[in-house]
């Protein structure tokens, strides 16, 4: 078994001279979590389409069901959520958040102000991630919530009790923290405000609006009144930009490549990767076609030689989940790329600075690791490598993309984690590239055995 309870699947990726086609991404992970939570707390039904049936969001779905929300799973990506008007029921089982920091931090916000006890737990990776960042402000609201050790790690013991609103100035630009406190604020007495240092993704703000709940915004400060009602509403979850990022970089960096991604979420607080790639010389056309709750549309990417750049400052929050694949773009570009102010990467599903530095080096890329980022020398000759995912979906998929540009096959160990955010990644890899060795469908143990034995090459 892998560190995160997935069976240890090995993905073998062959080099590819082609990236082309038209593709649609599975639903956005951040929005899918929120759709189920907001819909579950609302009064009345919400019909959710293109929900992401990845393991992370399925944890949130199961949690909201356990808390008394009736959620009809019409098919894997279509849900009918019957909201309970904020009246959750106690669950006597501990709630499993799997690998998902979003599930744990958002649910903690919801549960802190209930009239019952709850326990939130997760896998080994999630149990090592800092929850103090939510515990401290929730405690200021009067919550009784305890984690383990100095980082306040999971399992979280929440003794639900009445909360009072606070004005909180967050030291980090974190959408999870912001959302946790605003959700807790729904159940608090008075107003709760959150001010963030720079703009983090604004899906929560958009969903409050979509669910017809007034959320005041002034500069970087958001304010919610306790007792605010969410009203059920239908929602189409657009394709996940962070999943598309793997193909956007692959196509942008491969001269001759041509890729179209449709119905893709193009929320400007998520698409910082495009600005970085444009600076690197990328050729990308973005067309927003609709703006219902969230903007979405079509992205066209044409491949060419990229050049190095600097990534840092206020831009980091916008590209936080794309930094592993941007490190791959840097390796494929000519010249040096410097990533700085990205210390948050060290507390993601794994330490993504250390993990990406190790993986890039295995392919032959010179990398200097810094406390808050890395310096990558692009343009080195790449050789297929044996790498491990560190149990992190984005590290696994970033390595798969770099492998397309290497000489010889690459073996990526422990890729079951990909199912947390992008269960159909391998299918898309087969369809968009020259792969012959990667099997379609779910990566089962037999595929692992096949990969290990080299069968199917």
Residues that bind ligand S3P (CB under 6 A): 30, 102, 174-177, 179, 200-201, 320-321
- The residue among 336 and 344 lying less far from ligand S3P, judged by its C-beta, is 344
User: Which residues are CB-contacts of 183 (< 8 A; sequence separation ≥ 6)?
Assistant: 37, 41, 106, 109, 110
Q: Which is nearer to ligand S3P, 176 or 398 (CB)?
A: 176
Where do we find the tokens 């959320």? 215
Cα–Cα distances (Å) from 187 to 77, 110, 182, in that order, read: 30, 8, 9
> Residue 437 has what DSSP assignment?
S
Nearest distance from C-beta of residue 251 to ligand S3P, angstroms: 23
What gap in Å lies between CA 145 and CA 217, rounded to an integer? 28
We find the least distance from the C-beta atom of residue 63 to ligand S3P, in angstroms, to be 15
Other CB atoms closer than 10 Å to residue 140's CB: what's the count? 14
Query: Which is nearer to ligand S3P, 178 or 439 (by Cβ)?
Result: 178
**Angle between the 323-332 and 241-252 helix axes, to the nearest 10 degrees?**
0
Nearer to ligand S3P, 215 or 451 (CB): 215
Taking the complex as a whole, how short is the minimal distance between the CB of residue 200 and ligand S3P, in angstroms? 6
**Active-site pick, 321, 351, 392, 414:** 321
Given the complex with ligand S3P, which of 102 and 243 has the nearer CB atom?
102
**Whose Cβ is closer to ligand S3P: residue 374's or residue 404's?**
374
Helix axes 393-403, 323-332, angle to 10 degrees: 20
Closest residue to ligand S3P, based on beta-carbon distance: 30
Beta strand residue intervals within 177-316, DSSP E: 188-189, 191-195, 216-218, 221-225, 235-236, 258-265, 283-292, 294-302, 310-311
Which secondary structure element, helix H or strand E, spans residue 387, and what is its range? strand 386-388
- What are the backbone dihedrals phi and psi of residue 368, each rounded to the nearest 5 degrees, phi first? -110, 125
3-state percent helix, strand, coil for the chain, nearest multiple of 5: 35, 30, 40
321 catalytically annotated: yes
Burial of 419 (0-12, 13-18, 19+ CB in 10 A): buried
Nearer to ligand S3P, 170 or 283 (CB): 170
Handedness of CA 308, 310, 314, 317 (dihedral sign): positive
Q: Which two tokens stand for residue 142?
A: 């009067």
Q: Tokens for 124?
A: 């080994």
Q: Rounded distance, CA 386 to CA 5, Å?
A: 21
Ranges of beta strands (E only) in 226-349 are 235-236, 258-265, 283-292, 294-302, 310-311, 335-339
CB 223 to ligand S3P: min, Å: 19
Closest CB to ligand S3P among 199 and 298? 199
Could you tell me how far CA 178 lies from the centroid of its own chain?
16
Do the Cβ atoms of 228 and 186 come closer than 8 Å?
A: yes
Report the nearest approach of ligand S3P to the CB of residue 342 (Å).
11
| Dist. CA 159–CA 103, nearest whole Å | 18
| Other C-beta atoms lying within 10 Å of the C-beta of residue 313 | 10
Task: Give the residue ranges of DSSP H helices in 364-435.
Answer: 393-403, 425-432
Residue partners of 291: CB distance under 8 A and separation at least 6: none
Q: Which residues are catalytic?
A: 321
């Amino acid at each position: 078994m892998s560190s995160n309870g997935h069976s240890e699947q090995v993905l073998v990726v062959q080099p590819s001279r082609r990236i082309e086609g038209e593709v649609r991404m599975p639903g956005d992970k951040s929005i899918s979590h929120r759709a189920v939570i907001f819909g579950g707390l609302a009064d009345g039904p919400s019909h959710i389409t293109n929900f992401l049936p990845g393991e992370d969001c399925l944890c949130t779905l199961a949690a909201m069901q356990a808390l008394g929300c009736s959620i009809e799973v019409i098919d894997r990506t279509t849900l009918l959520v019957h909201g309970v008007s904020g009246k959750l029921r106690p669950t006597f089982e501990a709630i499993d958040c799997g690998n998902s920091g979003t599930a744990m931090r958002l649910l903690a916000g919801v549960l802190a102000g209930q009239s019952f006890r709850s326990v939130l737990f997760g896998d080994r990776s999630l149990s090592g991630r800092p929850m103090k960042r939510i515990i401290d402000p929730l405690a200021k609201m009067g919550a009784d919530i305890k984690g383990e050790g100095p980082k306040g790690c999971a399992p979280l013991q929440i003794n639900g009790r009445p909360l009072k609103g606070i004005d909180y100035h967050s030291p980090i630009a974190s959408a999870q923290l912001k959302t946790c406190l605003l959700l807790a604020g729904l159940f608090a007495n008075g107003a709760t405000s959150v001010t963030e240092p720079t703009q983090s993704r604004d899906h929560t703000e958009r969903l409050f609006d979509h669910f017809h709940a007034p959320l005041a915004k002034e500069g970087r400060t958001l304010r919610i009144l306790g007792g605010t009602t969410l009203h059920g509403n239908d929602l189409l979850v657009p394709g996940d930009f962070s999943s598309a990022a793997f193909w956007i970089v692959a196509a942008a960096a491969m001269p001759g490549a041509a890729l179209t991604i449709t119905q893709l979420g193009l929320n400007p607080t998520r698409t910082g990767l495009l600005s970085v790639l444009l600076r690197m010389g990328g050729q990308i056309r973005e067309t927003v076609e609709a703006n219902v709750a969230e903007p979405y549309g079509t992205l066209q990417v044409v491949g060419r030689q990229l050049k190095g750049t600097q990534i840092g400052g206020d831009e980091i929050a916008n590209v936080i989940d794309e930094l592993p694949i941007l490190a791959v773009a840097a390796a494929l570009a000519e010249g040096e790329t410097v990533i700085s102010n990205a210390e948050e990467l060290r507390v993601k599903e794994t330490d993504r600075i250390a993990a990406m530095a190790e993986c890039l080096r295995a392919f032959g890329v010179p990398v200097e690791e810094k406390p808050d980022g890395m310096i990558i020398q692009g343009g080195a000759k790449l050789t297929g490598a044996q790498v491990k995912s560190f149990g992190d979906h984005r590290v696994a998929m970033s390595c798969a993309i770099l492998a397309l540009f290497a000489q010889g096959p690459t073996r990526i160990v422990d890729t079951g984690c990909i199912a947390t955010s992008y269960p159909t990644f391998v299918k898309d890899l087969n369809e968009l590239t020259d792969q012959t060795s990667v099997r379609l469908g779910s990566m089962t143990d037999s595929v692992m055995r096949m990969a290990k034995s080299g069968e199917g090459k």
